[in-house]
């Protein structure tokens, strides 16, 4: 496969993954699909999980991957960027995507490890309070569904965060691999050309 065609194969999934990351991060601001928690959080009452505010999906897996995806796609389009110079630049853009994917991956992993912020109580802390009950569990809560009952509000917040942060984690991992592939592809395109007929 020529390097120009490979760029297209890389760019199209990056568009989808970047959009998915942005959507997941935005939805995470509305646990239980309720806007009241975000409103209370803006008023200075912590109600949103801290790792959501890192905007890993919007900034890292979203914008920092979307911009390289556009340039990478242009290198496959047989237009202004489909030449050795364009492929060389795509290495830098792909590196930017790698950084974004790593940021998104780190934020999602941290969100999964610490668990959600919720209104919780258990036998050791019978008085319900807002906090992060699984922060010191080293992620052990993920395999112990009985612990999920500690969170009383937002409803099903553990499953909510688990599903969306896991999606962000997988999306960021794939973005990372695709951007690394494009860095290698860009190097070959810079040396050998793009097979587009316009160098």
**Does 76 map to a domain?**
yes
Token digits of residue 110: 């941290």
Which residues constitute the domain of residue 39? Answer: 3-117+149-192
Q: Residue 130 domain-assigned? A: no
Please check whether residue 135 lies inside any domain of the structure: no
Q: Going residue by residue through the chain (199 aa), what tens digit of pLDDT does each one get? A: 455 567 778 889 999 999 999 999 999 999 988 999 999 999 999 999 999 999 999 999 999 999 999 988 887 665 555 566 767 788 889 999 999 999 999 999 999 999 999 999 988 888 999 999 998 888 789 999 999 999 999 999 999 999 999 999 999 999 999 999 988 887 877 776 555 544 4
Looking at the structure of the chain, the number of domains it has is: 1
> Is 175 inside a domain boundary?
yes
Among 51, 113, 91, residue whose Cα is nearest residue 179: 91
The answer as to whether 143 is a domain residue is: no
Q: Is residue 199 part of a domain?
A: no
Indicate whether this model's pTM tops 0.85: yes
Q: Any residues with CB less than 8 A from the CB of 152 and at least 6 apart, and which? A: 118, 119, 120, 121, 128
What is the Cα–Cα distance from 85 to 44, expressed in whole angstroms?
49
176 and 109 Cβ atoms separated by less than 8 Å: no
Whether 70 is covered by a domain: the verdict is: yes
Select from 23, 13, 174 the least CA-distant residue to 98: 174
């Amino acid at each position: 496969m020529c390097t120009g065609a490979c760029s297209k194969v890389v760019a199209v999934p990056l568009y989808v993954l970047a959009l998915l990351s942005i959507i997941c991060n935005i939805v995470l601001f509305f646990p239980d699909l309720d806007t009241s928690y975000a409103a209370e959080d803006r008023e200075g009452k912590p109600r949103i999980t801290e790792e959501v505010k890192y905007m890993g999906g919007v900034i890292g897996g979203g914008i920092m991957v979307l911009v390289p995806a556009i340039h990478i796609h242009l290198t496959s389009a047989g237009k202004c960027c489909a030449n050795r110079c364009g492929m060389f630049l795509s290495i830098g853009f792909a590196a930017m995507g790698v950084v974004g994917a790593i940021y998104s991956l780190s934020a999602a992993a941290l969100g999964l490890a610490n668990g959600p912020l919720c209104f919780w109580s258990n036998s050791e802390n019978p008085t319900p309070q807002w906090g992060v009950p699984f922060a010191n569990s080293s992620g052990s809560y993920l395999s112990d569904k009985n612990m999920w009952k500690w969170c009383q509000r937002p409803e099903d917040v553990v499953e909510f965060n688990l599903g969306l942060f896991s999606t962000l984690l997988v999306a960021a991992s794939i973005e990372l691999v695709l951007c690394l592939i494009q860095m290698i592809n860009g190097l070959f395109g810079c040396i050998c050309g793009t097979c587009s007929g316009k160098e």
